Amino acid sequence: MPLIDSLATTPELANLFSDQSLLRAMLEFETALAGVQANAGIIPKEAANIIGSALPESFDIESLIHDSLRAGTPSIPFVKALTEHVRSLNSNAAGYVHWGATSQDVADTSIMLLLKKAQALLATDIARAEEASRHLSNQHAHTVMLGRPLLQPGPPITFGLKAAGWHGTIHRGRIGLEHAFKDALILQFGGATGTLASLGNRGLEIAAALAQELGLGCPEAPWHAHRDRLATLMCACGVLTASLGKIARDISLLMQGEIAEVAEASSPGRGGSSTMPHKRNPIGCTLALAASHRVPGLVAAFLGAMTQEHERAAGGWQSEWPTVAEIIQATGLAAASMAEVLEGLTVDAARMRANIDATHGTIFAERAMMLLAPHIGRDAAHKLLEEAVRKSIEQKRSLGDMLAEMPEVTRWLGGTTLKGLDVPKSYLGVAEEFRLRLLTPEKKK
């Protein structure tokens, strides 16, 4: 992995999109194509065996990179290099390399093969994050904390509800990604203009056999200039990465020293500062946030390249390889980072309660207003509570005490009611019901 990409991918995904891995995928396409054609009696079996014997080590990467810039696609120099390699072993077999295919067939299908492997890598970390968020929610079902609308203290919620919200968005993102992968992982095989005319009336037969051999879906027809299914996959990655970024934003804010309600796990070399030894930085969240900043632009770049001309585009699909690779790797980094964060997250329930208490009960002004409103009207109750909150803040006394000194309030609300005003667990509404619904979405249907 180049140093410049060290904060953009995981080692596993960097390896998956490496030069050697891409060459293996392109060779897998050519090997499978030759094999099914040999089985169908279209090319000699000996030729197929020789074509299938080529290894990534047989190719000069630097030459392929140089020649790709001249050819407008890596596929053309790759096929030429493969043909020359086969010719060095058997001149007759060289004539059957890439039989009936076009350069975009090998380019698109090789990316499909890499995406198929990437799906498994992504699924593992997404499942980890989903399960970790479920565990946090169950563990802290009754841990009260401040709600923070517009970053300001609000009526209490439970950390269990917050974590269930995280679980819900990860779950939905995972399902969306699974559906998008299922639709996108298909063969590309259409020949020059998407008719497979070079194979006569056997095009459908060969395409179906080739798709089965490669473990990909067989589409209704070649999709050279129709990129919607792949675009949907890129968009699903964008949604999931943004959802993971939202969780990372929540956690990084809760880690601020002034709040200090949660913390990422620490270890030697993780979360430190080059100049401030006291710091415990939100490193996993930072990586996920960085990915969530990059992916929207990359998805937009993919969507912008979808307006492709006629049967084969000039510049559209040629732009996709690096875009797709970067989106998948950024998504994978976000998933892996947040899985680690959620699995090791430390939750300080005492600090959460202390931060509630530090508001002197002003976060329960809504509750008091709703108790008063049936007696004096909403507007009058709102005005009284504004005054009481102002005095509570100025005097650093509880809102209940302020209200107890206001005859307009005590006429309607007794001392017991006012003393119990700032009990967080008595003003959680249906938080627990919402939490359980988020953890079991299938039961809502």
Each residue's pLDDT tens digit, 389-399: 999 999 999 99
The CATH-assigned architecture of domain 354-444 is Orthogonal Bundle (1.10)
Structure tokens at 241: 């990465």
Residues of the chain with CATH 1.20.200.10: 103-186+223-347
| Residues known to be catalytic | 273, 312
User: CB count, 10 Å around CB of 147?
Assistant: 18
Q: Are strands 144-147 and 346-347 parallel, antiparallel or unpaired?
A: unpaired
Instruction: Write out the chain's pLDDT in tens, 445 residues.
Output: 888 999 999 999 999 999 999 999 999 999 999 999 999 999 999 999 999 999 999 899 999 999 999 999 999 999 999 999 999 999 999 999 999 999 999 999 999 999 999 999 999 999 999 999 999 999 999 999 999 999 999 999 999 999 999 999 999 999 999 999 999 999 999 999 999 999 999 999 999 999 999 999 999 999 999 999 999 999 999 999 999 999 999 999 999 999 999 999 976 655 554 444 445 789 999 999 999 999 999 999 999 999 999 999 998 889 999 999 999 999 999 999 999 999 999 999 999 999 999 999 999 999 999 999 999 999 999 999 999 999 999 999 999 999 999 999 999 999 999 999 999 999 999 999 999 999 998 765 5
Residues of the chain with CATH 1.10.40.30: 354-444
For residue 329, give the amino acid letter: Q
Residues of the chain with CATH 1.10.275.10: 1-101+190-218
Residues in CB range of 181: below 8 A, 6 or more apart: 115, 119, 233
The CATH-assigned architecture of domain 1-101+190-218 is Orthogonal Bundle (1.10)
434/424 Cα distance (integer angstroms): 17
pTM exceeds 0.85:
yes
Helix residue spans in 215-277 (DSSP H): 228-254
pLDDT of amino acid 270: 57
Mention the CATH class of domain 103-186+223-347: mainly alpha
